[in-house]
Amino acid sequence: MIIGVGIDVCDVERFAATIDRRPGLVKRLFTSTEATRPVASLAARFAAKEALAKALGAPSGMSWLDAEIVTDDEGRPGFAIAGTVAARAAELGVTEIHVSLSHDAGIASAFVICER
């Protein structure tokens, strides 16, 4: 059963400019592993975290660092969730989170489905 769906897009150039202006933002939005990625990949991960928040009902108080995009051995993205995000997912009965990321033509996008 689908609990929630979220989608988000991010202009890569605008995202890069924001990070240039506020470099500390990277540490607030991304885990140390995620932070090593190129800017287009970071923009897609930001979009994924936004999409996940939407799929979970966009409650306040969730930490950006409690949702990390990880890739499996075949390169498929997924979420590793902890803390505030895991608590919200458990509250809704979420047992599976699907995520798709893309970045092309200056736009990063992500789509998330939460299921139980």
Mean pLDDT of 9-28: 96
- Give pTM, 2 decimals: 0.94
Evaluate whether 56 touches 94 at the Cβ level (below 8 Å): yes
Closest CA to 9 of 82, 95, 116, 106: 106
User: How far apart (Å, rounded) are the C-alpha atoms in residues 50 and 79?
Assistant: 12
Q: What is the pLDDT of residues 50-106, one digit of tens each?
A: 999 999 998 788 899 999 999 999 999 999 999 999 999 999 999 999 999 999 999
Architecture of the domain whose range is 2-115: Alpha-Beta Complex (3.90)
**Residue 17 pLDDT level (bands cut at 50, 70, 90):** very high
pLDDT at 83: 96
Sign (positive/negative) of CA torsion 21, 24, 30, 34? Answer: positive
